[in-house]
Structure 1
Amino acid sequence: MDLKQIRYFIVACEMRSLSRAAEVLGLSQPSLSRQIQLLEAELRHHLLIRTGRGVEPTPAGLRFLAHAQALDDLAQHARQDMRAYASTSQAKVRLGMPHRVARRLAPHIVQSFRRQHPHAALTLAEGLSLEMNEWLVKDRVDLALLYDPPPSTLVRYESVYREDLVLAYGKSCRPAPPPRVRARDLGRYPLVLPSAPNTIRALVDKTCRDLSVALDIAAEVDVVHTILETMTQESLYTILPRSALNDMQGQDYLICSEIIDPVIMNNLTLATPIRQTLPPFVESTASIIRALDMKQLFA
């Protein structure tokens, strides 16, 4: 069944005149009549009947008109969708991630994105979680991976990976903590922690505040690598995600103790703007992230 013939039939029914329909469609009247005759021959029904004022659909024509309109609507929707796809085939998806997360996930995300969308581009931005949450609201990124973001009416959060925080220290550190340290005992250890606002600091502060534990903050340092370097100079301790111990080469001297009662867990979330549907490339990127084996990648 020819979609053009279906369109011609619909316009003829709307115009109630073959001459006016031909004018609207940019055809000669004989050409329009011929196409409708071919449609009638395929359907084996007369669809239009001539009257003194033009044409009217026959009972069979009225029955087919409902199908024709549905088919035409679907064809129009398909055309619009493909035009939209063509216009965005060179689109960029802007993804924000914390630095440490980017080092672990970016190669895998880029590889999958490139394989699925060879004609599109993925732009990666790195920053702090709080900073990127603002970027998302201000439309500077399309989606982001954030640690423990604050509640928002403008952003939707979806947890993709949770990891426990540990008490880390050098092998020569004294006193050496036991393999498992209760959260209420964290005040015994001089800590090097990031300054507020920071997601790790916020988690530790909240846990200790709930337990009425006063922390011994020896120094505030915002970069993980600098924290680890600082700890080599003295008997200092820090609290960080377990996987962070493996992020810096040559850190074999570091060991850690589990924190228990309670376990302190961070929460890596996939953040997207709250809207009914995401653009196709953004939704595809989100699906790529959801499909990653986070446990293995953060091991």
Structure 2
Amino acid sequence: MDLTRLQYFAAVAEAGSFSRAAAALHLTQSSLSRQVQLLEAEVGQRLLERHGRGAVPTEAGTALLGHARAILELAQRARTDMAERQRNPRGRLTIGLPPRVAHVVTADLVERFHALYPEAGITIMEGLSLRLREWLVGGRADMAILFDPAPSPQIALETLVREPLVLVSSRPLPPRLRLAEVVQRPLVMPSAPNALRRLLDEHAAPRGLSLQLVAEVDSVQTVLNLVARGVADAVLPASAPRLAPGLAPLHVAAIHAPVVRNKLVLAVPTARPATRLLQAGTQLLRELVQRQFGKPPGAP
């Protein structure tokens, strides 16, 4: 069904006159009448009753007028949406990142965001996962990367990467160690309720294993410094040693029996409207995290 003919028919029905509608549409009355006749031929019914003072919709015309208004409104919304997509989004996007993620992706994130969306602003806030979660729920952040968050109806969660944990040491290590062997070594780890520490405890406790902690330190960078000095070993995500390129070479062993994986999760408040800027930011952040920290879940 031709949208232009629907528009012309609706104009006549609403104006109550071919002459008034023709003037509003900048058409000749004969041209407008011809288009309405073609629409009537298409639907197989008379849509307008002509009389001396104008025209009124028939019963069929009244029914079609309701459909026409809905169709024309939908078409206009589609045009508006397409036009909006041609323009750069505006506004400000606030993104929360754990320090380890921020260290790796912030420079690329800000640079690419500014290049793609020059009329929009970006704010990066760093914090531990628990604090970032509070910022999301409280409306201070539009999105965040969290480590192993608990499900919540207030936050939509998308797992981006499942990263294996490894043992990091200043001393040579075998290629792989069982978890039971790892926990017997002196360790420096973040304190609870850090997500990494909680994850390790959740795997060790059911097996009757306890950690041999030399110190509890929340900063991964400081943990790596202590490992490099030989104070103790640490259990960290496989990408963590990249945070210490200036330190003495560190040795890494994969952990198995069981393999323990840390989830990097993209989190967005469920109450947050899905604006173009938010959608653009989540896609950019998703790409950078998956590129820097590994393949997405289920990838070969």
TM-score normalised according to structure 2 size: 0.78
Q: Residues 249-269 of structure 1: CA distance to partner in whole angstroms, max 9, x if unpaired? A: 222332122211111110001
Residue aligning to 1:138: 138
Three-state SS of the structure 2 residue aligned to 1:136 is helix
Residue aligning to 2:120: 120
Percent of counterpart pairs with the same letter?
A: 35
Instruction: For residue 237 of structure 1, report the CA deviation from its aligned partner.
Output: 1.2
1:44-55 maps to which residues of 2 (within 5 A)?
44-45=37-38, 48-51=48-51, 55=55
1:153-164 maps to which residues of 2 (within 5 A)?
153-164=153-164
Three-state SS of the structure 1 residue aligned to 2:153 is coil
Q: For 1:60 and 1:115, how far apart are their aligned partners in 2? A: 54
Q: For 1:249 and 1:29, how far apart are their aligned partners in 2? A: 74
Q: For 1:94 and 1:195, how far apart are their aligned partners in 2? A: 27
Q: For 1:49 and 1:146, how far apart are their aligned partners in 2? A: 65
Residue aligning to 1:96: 96
Q: Classify 1:125/1:83 alpha carbon distance in 2 versus 1 (closer, same or farther; 3 Å).
A: farther
Residue aligning to 1:227: 223
Query: Contact 1:166 / 1:258 at 8 angstroms: preserved in 2?
Result: yes
- Asked whether 1:202 is paired with 2:195, we answer no
Residue aligning to 1:40: 33
Q: For 2:159 and 2:176, how far apart are their aligned partners in 1? A: 27
Query: Contact 1:8 / 1:32 at 8 angstroms: preserved in 2?
Result: no
Instruction: For residue 132 of structure 1, report the CA deviation from its aligned partner.
Output: 0.8
Q: Classify 1:33/1:249 alpha carbon distance in 2 versus 1 (closer, same or farther; 3 Å).
A: closer
Instruction: For residue 187 of structure 1, report the CA deviation from its aligned partner.
Output: 3.2
Instruction: For residue 191 of structure 1, report the CA deviation from its aligned partner.
Output: 1.1
> 1:97 is matched by which residue type in structure 2?
L
Q: For 2:62 and 2:21, how far apart are their aligned partners in 1? A: 22
Q: Classify 1:63/1:226 alpha carbon distance in 2 versus 1 (closer, same or farther; 3 Å).
A: closer
Q: Classify 1:241/1:29 alpha carbon distance in 2 versus 1 (closer, same or farther; 3 Å).
A: closer
Residue aligning to 1:251: 247
TM-score normalised according to structure 1 size: 0.78
Query: Contact 2:164 / 2:260 at 8 angstroms: preserved in 1?
Result: yes
Query: Contact 2:22 / 2:28 at 8 angstroms: preserved in 1?
Result: no
Residue aligning to 1:25: none
Q: Classify 1:78/1:190 alpha carbon distance in 2 versus 1 (closer, same or farther; 3 Å).
A: same
1:271-286 maps to which residues of 2 (within 5 A)?
271-274=267-270, 278-286=274-282
> 1:274 is matched by which residue type in structure 2?
T
Match of 1:31 among 14, 23, 31: 23
Query: Contact 2:170 / 2:229 at 8 angstroms: preserved in 1?
Result: no
